[in-house]
Structure 1
Amino acid sequence: MSSDPWGRVDETGTVYVRTADGEQVVGSWQAGSPDEALAYFERKYEGLVVEIGLLEKRVKTTDLSSKDAQTAIGHLREQIDAHHAVGDLDALRKRLDKLVELVEARREERKAQRAKQSDEARHAKEALVVEAEELAQSDQWRAAGERLRSLVDTWKGLPRLDRKSDDELWHRFSHARSAFSKRRKQHFAQLDAQREEARRTKERLVAEAESLSGSTDWGPTAARYRELMSEWKAAGRAQREHEDDLWNRFRGAQDVFFAARSSVFAERDAEQAENLKLKEELAGEAEKLLPVTDLKAARAAFRAINERWEAIGHVPRDARPKVEGRMHTVERALQEAEEAEWRRTNPEARARAAGLTGQLQAAVDKLKGQIEQARAQGNTAKAEKLGRELEGRQALLDQALKGLQEFGG
Structure 2
Amino acid sequence: MTEHPFGRVDESGTVFVKIGEDWHEVGQYPDGTHEEALALFERKFADLEGQVRLLEQRVRSGANASDVTKSAAALKQQADEGRAVGDFVSLRARIDAVVGRTDELSQQQRAEQQEKLDAAIAERESIVVEAEKIAARDLSNVQWKQVSAEIDELFAKWKAHQAAGPRLPKSQNDAFWKRFRAARNTLESARREFFSKLDGQHREAKQEKQRLIESANALAPKGADGIGEYRRLLDSWKAAGRAGRKVDDALWAEFKAAGDVLYGAKAEQQAVEDAAYTENLVAKQALLEEAQPILKITDRVAARNALRGIQKQWDEVGHVPRASIRDMEDGLRRIETHVKQLDEKHWDSTNPERKARSEGLAGQLEESIEKLEADIGAAGSDAKKVKQLEDELATKRQWLEVARKAG
TM-score band w.r.t. shorter chain? 0.5 to 0.7
**2:152 alignment partner in structure 1:** 149
| Within-5 A mapping of 1:215-230 | 215-216=222-223, 218=225, 221-230=226-235
SS in 2 for 1:161: coil
Query: What is the rounded CA distance, in whole Å, between the counterparts of 1:83 and 1:250 in structure 2?
Result: 102
1:38–1:205: structure 2 CA closer, same or farther, 3 Å change rule? Answer: same
- CA deviation after TM superposition for structure 1 residue 270, in Å: 4.7
TM-score by length of 2: 0.64
Kindly indicate whether the alpha-carbon contact (under 8 Å) linking 1:214 and 1:256 is maintained by their aligned counterparts in 2. Answer: no
- CA deviation after TM superposition for structure 1 residue 10, in Å: 4.2
**1:74 alignment partner in structure 2:** 73
1:274–1:26: structure 2 CA closer, same or farther, 3 Å change rule? Answer: same
Query: What is the rounded CA distance, in whole Å, between the counterparts of 2:284 and 2:84 in structure 1?
Result: 140
Matched, 1:251 2:256: yes
Residue by residue over 1:129-154, the C-alpha shift from the partner in whole angstroms, topping out at 9 and shown as x without a partner, is 11111222351211221121121121
Quick one: which of 236, 243, 252 aligns to 1:231?
236
Kindly indicate whether the alpha-carbon contact (under 8 Å) linking 2:19 and 2:87 is maintained by their aligned counterparts in 1. Answer: yes
Percent identity among equivalent residues? Answer: 35
- CA deviation after TM superposition for structure 1 residue 244, in Å: 1.6
Matched, 1:175 2:178: no
Query: What is the rounded CA distance, in whole Å, between the counterparts of 1:32 and 1:115 in structure 2?
Result: 57
| Within-5 A mapping of 1:380-395 | none
Query: What is the rounded CA distance, in whole Å, between the counterparts of 1:29 and 1:269 in structure 2?
Result: 132
1:255–1:216: structure 2 CA closer, same or farther, 3 Å change rule? Answer: closer
Matched, 1:199 2:206: yes
Quick one: which of 161, 184, 207 aligns to 2:191?
184
1:266–1:87: structure 2 CA closer, same or farther, 3 Å change rule? Answer: same
**1:52 alignment partner in structure 2:** 52
- CA deviation after TM superposition for structure 1 residue 62, in Å: 7.4
Quick one: which of 223, 232, 240 aligns to 2:245?
240
| Within-5 A mapping of 1:246-395 | 246-271=251-276, 274=279, 315=319
Residue by residue over 1:277-318, the C-alpha shift from the partner in whole angstroms, topping out at 9 and shown as x without a partner, is 879999x9xxxxxxxxxxxxxxxxxxxxx9xx99x8964799
SS in 2 for 1:237: coil
- CA deviation after TM superposition for structure 1 residue 14, in Å: 4.3
Matched, 1:166 2:173: yes
**1:213 alignment partner in structure 2:** 220
Kindly indicate whether the alpha-carbon contact (under 8 Å) linking 2:72 and 2:99 is maintained by their aligned counterparts in 1. Answer: yes
Query: What is the rounded CA distance, in whole Å, between the counterparts of 1:315 and 1:29 in structure 2?
Result: 137
Number of residue pairs aligned between Structure 1 and Structure 2: 296
Query: What is the rounded CA distance, in whole Å, between the counterparts of 2:11 and 2:224 in structure 1?
Result: 141
What amino acid does structure 2 have at the position aligned with 1:226? Answer: R
1:70–1:217: structure 2 CA closer, same or farther, 3 Å change rule? Answer: closer
1:134–1:14: structure 2 CA closer, same or farther, 3 Å change rule? Answer: same
Residue by residue over 1:190-232, the C-alpha shift from the partner in whole angstroms, topping out at 9 and shown as x without a partner, is 11111111100000000000110231462xx222111111111
Kindly indicate whether the alpha-carbon contact (under 8 Å) linking 1:132 and 1:148 is maintained by their aligned counterparts in 2. Answer: yes
Query: What is the rounded CA distance, in whole Å, between the counterparts of 2:245 and 2:283 in structure 1?
Result: 56
Query: What is the rounded CA distance, in whole Å, between the counterparts of 2:21 and 2:236 in structure 1?
Result: 108
Kindly indicate whether the alpha-carbon contact (under 8 Å) linking 1:52 and 1:96 is maintained by their aligned counterparts in 2. Answer: yes
SS in 1 for 2:85: coil
Residue by residue over 1:350-402, the C-alpha shift from the partner in whole angstroms, topping out at 9 and shown as x without a partner, is xxxxxxxxxxxxxxxxxxxxxxxxxxxxxxxxxxxxxxxxxxxxxxxxxxxxx
- CA deviation after TM superposition for structure 1 residue 5, in Å: 1.0
**1:39 alignment partner in structure 2:** 39
1:250–1:194: structure 2 CA closer, same or farther, 3 Å change rule? Answer: same
| Within-5 A mapping of 1:119-158 | 119-136=118-135, 137=137, 139-158=142-161
SS in 1 for 2:3: strand
What amino acid does structure 2 have at the position aligned with 1:92? Answer: L
Kindly indicate whether the alpha-carbon contact (under 8 Å) linking 2:13 and 2:30 is maintained by their aligned counterparts in 1. Answer: yes
Instruction: Answer with 94-103 or 193-202: which moved more.
Output: 94-103
- CA deviation after TM superposition for structure 1 residue 101, in Å: 2.9
- CA deviation after TM superposition for structure 1 residue 114, in Å: 1.7
Q: Max radius of gyration: which structure?
A: 1
- CA deviation after TM superposition for structure 1 residue 23, in Å: 2.7
Kindly indicate whether the alpha-carbon contact (under 8 Å) linking 1:209 and 1:250 is maintained by their aligned counterparts in 2. Answer: yes
Query: What is the rounded CA distance, in whole Å, between the counterparts of 1:94 and 1:279 in structure 2?
Result: 127
What amino acid does structure 2 have at the position aligned with 1:5? Answer: P
Query: What is the rounded CA distance, in whole Å, between the counterparts of 2:281 and 2:159 in structure 1?
Result: 85
Query: What is the rounded CA distance, in whole Å, between the counterparts of 1:92 and 1:281 in structure 2?
Result: 130
Query: What is the rounded CA distance, in whole Å, between the counterparts of 2:36 and 2:94 in structure 1?
Result: 28
Structure 2: gaps (5+ residues): 291-311, 333-407
Residue by residue over 1:8-28, the C-alpha shift from the partner in whole angstroms, topping out at 9 and shown as x without a partner, is 234565433222363333234
- CA deviation after TM superposition for structure 1 residue 29, in Å: 4.8
1:204–1:21: structure 2 CA closer, same or farther, 3 Å change rule? Answer: farther
What amino acid does structure 2 have at the position aligned with 1:206? Answer: I
**1:5 alignment partner in structure 2:** 5
Kindly indicate whether the alpha-carbon contact (under 8 Å) linking 2:223 and 2:261 is maintained by their aligned counterparts in 1. Answer: no
